[in-house]
Structures are given as C-alpha cells and as structure tokens.
A and B are shown apart, each in its own frame.
Chain A
Amino acid sequence: MRPTLRPFAVIGVALVVFGPLGLILYQSFLGEAFFSPTARFSLGAYRYVFTDSGFHSAFGTSLLVSFGMTLISVPLGSLLAFLLVRTDLPGKKLLEPWLLVPIFLSPVVLAFGYVVAVGPVGFFSLWTKALIGRVPWNLYSLYGLIVIAGLTHVPHSFLYVSSALRSLDPSVEEAARVAGAGPWRIAATVSLPLVLPSILFSGALIFLLGFELFGLPLVLGDPAGLLVLTTYLYKLTNLLGVPSYHLMAVVALAIVALTFPLVYAQRRMLRTAGRFAVIGGKGQAFRPLPLGALRWPAVGIVLLWLAVTVLLPLVGVALRSVVSQWGEGIQLSEVLTLDHFRELQGHPNLIRGILNTLLLGGIGGALSVAFYAAVGLAAHRWQSRWVSFLDYLVMLPRALPGLIVGLAFLWVFLFFKPIAPLRTTLFSLWLAYTVVWLAYGLRLISASLLQVKPELEEAARVIGARQGKVYRDVTLPLIRFGLVGSWLLMFMMFVREYSTGVYLLGPGTEVIGSLIVSLWGTGALDLISALSVIEVAAVGLILFIALRLGVRLDA
C-alpha cells in the first residue's frame, strides 16, 4: 500500500466505530427515540437511569458476577495452564484442544444445556436426587451464575497463562530443580511469579468480559429475577411499555464508561507482560516437571473441569434435541424422537437462519479477514501517530457488548437513509460483526505479520520492489497460513455469535444465534435445542479442520 493510502484505512475504521457510537451518544441526550418527530434535547434519560434502583442493582450484580467469575477462572485457568504446559501430565496433547472448546460455544447454548442438565429437573439433577434424595444445588441463583460463568471462562485465563509459560526460558526452572526444589515449589516460587503479568492480564480481561455477559444471565438469571447490565438494557424495552431508546443509549454508555478504562488498563498490562517474558535462547526442548504421585489426581482435575464445563451442557443440549418431553417422571427411552429436526423444515426462517449463519461465517468471515488484513498491513511497520490512534480506536468496540453494537448499527441503518435498504440484508449483520470482532481480528493478523522478519521485506525493497509489490510478493505469501487460520477462527466466532444480531434480526438477517435468543423469548425449547445441535456441529467441524491444519487457537 502506498504510504499515502495508509491513513485511509484508519479513517475507514474510525468511521465504522465512531458512527454507531456517536449515534448512541446522540440518542442518549434526547427525550425520545431519535426518529421520533418530537425528540428534543433532554437529560431525562440520564436522570431516570441513574436514579433507578433497578439499574443500581443490575450494576451491583454485574460487579459481583465479574468478581466472582474472575476469582474462579483465573486460579483454575492458571493451574490448568501450568499442568498442561510445564508438567508431565499424561494425555496433554489430547486434552489441550478441549480446554479451548468453551470459547467457541455460544453462551446461550451452554446456558440452555445447563438448564437441561443441572436445572431443577435436569437429567443430572434427577439422577442425583434419586441417589441422595435431593438436589443440592440451585442453578438459578447468583452463585449458580457466577460458577458457570467462572468455569466457562477458564479457557481465557488458560490461553494467556499457558502461552506465557511456554515462552519462559526453561533454564530458570531447571536452576531451581538443581538447587533441590520439587515441582510444586517451582510452580509457586519460580514459574507462576514470572508469568504473574499474564495472570493479572487474563484476570482483567475476564473481569471485563463479565460486564459483557448476555446469554448466560438471560437464561440463568431470568427465573431468579437477577439482572445484569446487559439484560437490564434488554428489559428496558418493556419497562415503560414502549421502547425506550434513549434509556438504552444511556445504559449502553454507562457500560462503555465502565469497560473502556478496563480495556485501556488491559492494553497497558499487555505491554508490561511482554517485558517479563524471558524468551528461551535456542528454543531447546525442556524436560517437563514430574508430578509423581499427583499425576492422576491432576488428570482428574482437568477431566472434572471438562466434564462440568463442556460435557454436561453439550450432552444436555443433545439430549433435549432428541426427546419430545423431559423432566421429572419421564422415562427418557420412551420419548426419543427426531421430530424437532424435522420440524425445523417447517420454519423457513430457521432454515434461512442456518444458511445465513454458514454464509456469514464462511464468506463474511473471509471478507472480514480481508478487511483486517488491509488495516493490519496499513499499520504494519508504520511509525506514525495514526497507528496509536488506531490502537485506541480498536479498543472502543472491544468495550461494547455485542448487543449494543448490534443496536447501534440498527440505528445507523435507520438513520442514514442512503444505506437503509442494506439493513435487511446480511451486509448490515456482517458490518456489525466485523466491528465487534475488530480487536480480535486485528490481533490475529498482527500476530501473523509479526512473524515475518523485517529483513525479508527489506531485502525485497532493496532489490527494487515497491511497497505494494513487497506486500504482494513477500508479506502476504508468508502470512498465507496465518490468514487461513484467522479465517477459520473468525468462521467459528461468527457462527457462535448471538447477541450482535439480536436487534438486527429480521427476514433476511436471521442467524442461528439471534434466532435462539428470540426463540428463547417464545420458549420453543425443542427448536432451540435442534438449532443448537446444528450450531455446535458446525463449530465442531470447523474446529476439527482448524486443528488438523495446525492452526493455533490462542490469540
């Protein structure tokens, strides 16, 4: 790309980020929906929201959930990372991809699976009840929500801590071994302190993600009357009996005000984390720390987490999709059926949704990767204030829950007449998705780009190739594999997406995720389970292909 074209890439990104955000800001200062002819400037929305006890309690609940899930997922994730990266845990290679699976599963699907599995009349609950006479847990409670949220976010912590542990110079641990320390002492006094920045970083990330939870609290919090900020926003629509866009805008901004500093703090932590990494000298293979008698218990811990976090809900979903009724007093063997899947055919919007999801994930994902690559290349090895501006820019959509970005884009398409016809096409959804995953996608691309040694590009330049030709002949071919990997990852993320499409849902823009949320509202659980099985199968297939190709899932 010619140097003069680079700023345009940044401007393009600025447009798609500030556009929706600006509209939210504008809306928050109006007394009614922005398209209402009587809308005027008013601070009423702010007044209402900030004095609403519902908002306060939703805020409090969000805080508690964030804290709670961080306290669960960070220690567990770090422990699992240590076990899998640094010790001689049996079956490491087999277990590792499974540890990352929850990231690729839709939270609504998971939540739904938990209801079927460990809800008050879940199959597992009923077995437990048959065994010990009662069900000792309550899924629909604050602690239920926190535990599930914590367990499902273990992979996030695992990712960062494991990659930090991998980049440690093994000689620091070996020095401790030679001096006489056992594996646990080494873990506590050498390895983990060195990766402390990564641990803290993942903690900040998970804390941030806690504010953006939507699917889990929607399904699990509803019956207990628990609201978090996102479901509070979702509920606002009904509170006044008419949609209260101005209130929603204020809540959206409140969420951003909370999450943006967290994102900012995170980025600074990421920099310090980098400083601590002691990159191994010659990349020598290190000898793993022996666990001795703790081997099998350690495997037990890993398997237990897997069973609770992955197996349980997925089996729940699968089971529900093939039974016509379920619950107390039902003999499962008597109610097996494939009707739910057949029933899908009778709903053209659902079939469309499945096709749209695959389309959006496959082709949309590829287009998004192309977009991210263009932006990434523009920022590649470019010393300029534009690049730091881009960094900050990218943090904004990161701080917004998908739900709000979808809403904002709905408004954008309604507000700007020229692009209005596109609202009912997949384009609107693709645009929203691309913005939501901007930070993630760019990170994937830049990770690939960083692997290209500068000399390879400089060599081409000195020989006489212009910048554009250098990208075409050297950079892009070298990140080919990274691009394919990024595409597969985006494919999975897009298929799993559910909150961004909620407000953009309509004929032509149905996708499995938002259909599930909408169907959840109507309680058509058999359809939901059938759709969920299809979604999980799709994601599973792509994950399998990605792993086969050797794509690294950490980013």
Chain B
Amino acid sequence: MPDLIARDIEKQLGAAQVLCGVSFELQPGEVLALLGPSGSGKTTLLRSVAGLERPDKGKIEIRGKVVFDAASGFEIPAEQRGLGLVFQSYAIWPHRSVFENVAYGLRLRRASDAEVRQKVGDILKRLGLDHLADRYAHQLSGGQQQRVALARAIVYSPPVLLLDEPLSNLDAKLREDARAWLRELIKQIGNSALYVTHDQTEALAIADRVLLLDRGQIQQEGPPEEIYGSPSSRFTAEFMGSNNRVEGKIAERADGRARLEGKGWSLWGKLQAEKILGATGTGLVRVERVRMVDGGGENHLKMQLTSALYLGERWEYVLQLGDLRMRAWGETSRPAGEYWVSIPADGLWIF
C-alpha cells in the first residue's frame, strides 16, 4: 500500500491557479522529488500534504487513512497527521536547546523521560550532533541547524518525511556533500520521503522518482534517468541539463526521425512531438553530447569556433554556423577556427 496518495489536488491562491489537478503516489521507502521552477506549485503541494494549506479540490490519504477530502469537507488538521517536515529555513526554535528542539515531538506524544533521552540521544549521535545537544540555534552553523531540523522531524518515526528545499539555504559546496549524506540517511531510516527542490541536479541525485511540475501541472513523472534521458515534453527537455537549442523547418520525416533544416545546415533528430512537413521545429540537444570530431558524417557540421571559456573542470566552446549557435564541452583549449562538430541524431530531440 502506498504511504501517501494525492488525487486531483487543485489550489487557487489569490488570482492564480497554483495547482491544477495533481495526482501522485508515494510507495513505502521511496524518495519522490517534486521538482520544478518557482511558481510551479511544488511547495504548495507539500504544504497541502502537511495540512498547512487547504486545497480547493482533491483527496489525500496517508497509509490508507483519508486525511483530506475536499468533496466531503473532511480535514484532519496538521497537528494530527503525524508527519515530519523539514523547513527550508530549518525553523529551529531559538528559545530551546538542540536537545529540547528534537525532544519536542516525543514529549507531545507523552514519551517517558528515559525514552526521550534515549531516542533523542540516538538520533543526535547518528547525525553527528551529540556534542551540540545543549547549544542554541544562534550557536550553530547552517549545516548543523539543518541536521537539527532533520533530527527533529524523524525522531518520532513519521510515516512520511516531508522536506521543503532543505539544502537550498546552504552554500554551494556544502550542498554537494549534503545531498549524498542526506540520501544515505533517508534510505537508512527507511521511511518514504517527499522532497521538494528547484535544483534538478539535487533531484536527480536524491530521488528514486522525480515528479516534474510546471505551473501546477505534472509535466513528467519517472525515475531520474528517464526524466533526464527521455524527456516527453519540451519543458522537461529544457528544464533538465544544459541544452543547445536549434530552430529550423521540418524538411523530412521518416519513422520517428525528422530532419531539421536551417540556413546552411541540416540535422537529423528524434521526433518527440507531432509535426507536419514544413512546420517549424525546435531541436534540443544536451551540451555534453556535442563533440568536436575529426571529420564529416551524418549530423556532422563544420562550425566556426568563436570563443573558448575556461570553466575549471572543462572548457566550453562557442560554435557558430549560419544562424546556428552551439555550445560544446572539451578538455583542452582550442584556438578559433573551423572545426567538425558532431550532434548525434539520437541525442537531438525535436519538439
């Protein structure tokens, strides 16, 4: 049985329709990422599950128990849903020590002092916070606060863990370490988790499944590799990864493939949407798929390298041909000039 079922969630805030009928299921032990740009409704969705927002339409079930049903007007308030929520700003109570912050949930559940000490002690140790038990929020670093927030949310073993952009307030460097560690921890604990983020790399890294949202609607749902490697919509393709975009006319079509033609160039690609001959099409190809090659071939173009930027871990080249402008990555510095560039047909998606 899924840990969490959300059906047809709709929500209007002011004049905007923030959620337009979103449905998903969260299986036990699964990490589901709600990914999308700002305004996509992902946080609203999370808060609706938590009970902090009330949807206009829809139904929410946690482990088979209905906690919200707009049709019948039934609603279990947030404090009775028994979930755990890690806030983006951590929301550590500044007037309580780390220990008391974490212990709060257990005390509400009338755990004995001994139980509280044991469970809180365990979780703090696990998260490397045991030496900070008597500190207060202002004495902690961002990363430490984040872990306290996490400890507080999981100490009473909620069926579903909700995380609202937990890493976005950390510095970029810390974030990279944290996402590995966070995924490990969530998997270790074994509870299912609903993870909201706007950072696609983070989503791909942490989640078992990704739900991509745009303007209140699900664009695509599936495992990370699928979202990244097989985008079913232009939005998905554009949102993920770093892309090159080419605009041209559909010159030819042949079983699932099409040839895009522009001023002085023509490329074969995978047709991902219904297009008739002669219509304009947009082709998207990941930057990492574009390579400099030695010679001609299918989908090989001779392009002019106008500038090369050093990014530290690699070089980025800017290439031009007629109205075509591409970026490609490589290991070395290259002087300006003409080069053969390969744009693999199976990597070029045409919408």
Contacts and interface: CB of A to CB of B under 8 A. Distances in A.
Q: Do A and B bind each other?
A: yes
B62 interface: no
Given A455-B87, A459-B87, A464 B95 contact: no
A465 interface: yes
A40 interface: no
Contacts of B39: none
B297 to A, nearest CB: 52
A458 B108 contact: no
A461 B78 contact: yes
Given A458-B78, A478-B95, A463 B89 contact: no
A455 B90 CA distance: 8
B91 A455 contact: yes
Interface residues of A, number: 19
B94 A458 contact: no
A459 B85 contact: yes
Interface in B273-322: none
B80 interface: yes
A297 interface: no
Contacts of A467: 79
B347 interface: no
B95 A462 contact: no
Contact of B95 (A455, A465, A477): A477
A351 interface: no
A462 B153 CA distance: 9
B30 to A, nearest CB: 21
Nearest to B155: A463
Given A458-B87, A459-B87, A464 B93 contact: no
A472 interface: no
A455 B79 CA distance: 14
Contacts of A447: none
A478 B136 CA distance: 14
B105 A456 contact: no
B109 interface: yes
Interface string B58-92: 00000000000000000001111111110111010
A468 to B, nearest CB: 10
A473 B95 CA distance: 10
A473 B103 CA distance: 13
B11 to A, nearest CB: 14
A460 interface: yes
Contact of B94 (A455, A463, A478): A478
A466 interface: yes
Nearest to A457: B91
Contacts of A460: 93, 104
A272 B349 CA distance: 49
B87 A463 contact: no
A469 B94 CA distance: 17
A93 interface: no
B108 A463 contact: yes
Nearest to A469: B108
Interface residues of B, number: 28
B50 interface: yes
A473 B80 CA distance: 17
B152 A463 contact: yes
A464 B85 contact: no
B94 A459 contact: no
A282 interface: no
A417 interface: no
Contacts of A462: 50-52, 78-79, 81, 83-85, 162
Contacts of A385: none
A279 B100 CA distance: 34
B152 to A, nearest CB: 7
7 tightest CB-CB pairs across the interface, nearest first? A455-B91, A459-B91, A463-B105, A462-B85, A455-B87, A464-B108, A461-B78
Interface of A: 453, 455-456, 458-467, 469, 473-474, 477-478, 480
Given A459-B149, A461-B51, A463-B105, 19 more contacts: A453-B89, A453-B91, A455-B89, A455-B91, A458-B52, A458-B78, A458-B91, A459-B93, A462-B50, A462-B51, A463-B84, A463-B153, A464-B82, A464-B105, A465-B79, A467-B79, A473-B104, A477-B95, A478-B94
Interface of B: 50-52, 77-85, 87-89, 91, 93-95, 104-105, 108-109, 149, 152-153, 156, 162
21 contacts: A453-B91, A455-B87, A455-B89, A458-B85, A458-B91, A459-B85, A459-B87, A459-B152, A460-B93, A461-B79, A462-B51, A462-B85, A462-B162, A463-B79, A463-B84, A463-B105, A463-B108, A464-B80, A464-B82, A464-B108, A473-B104
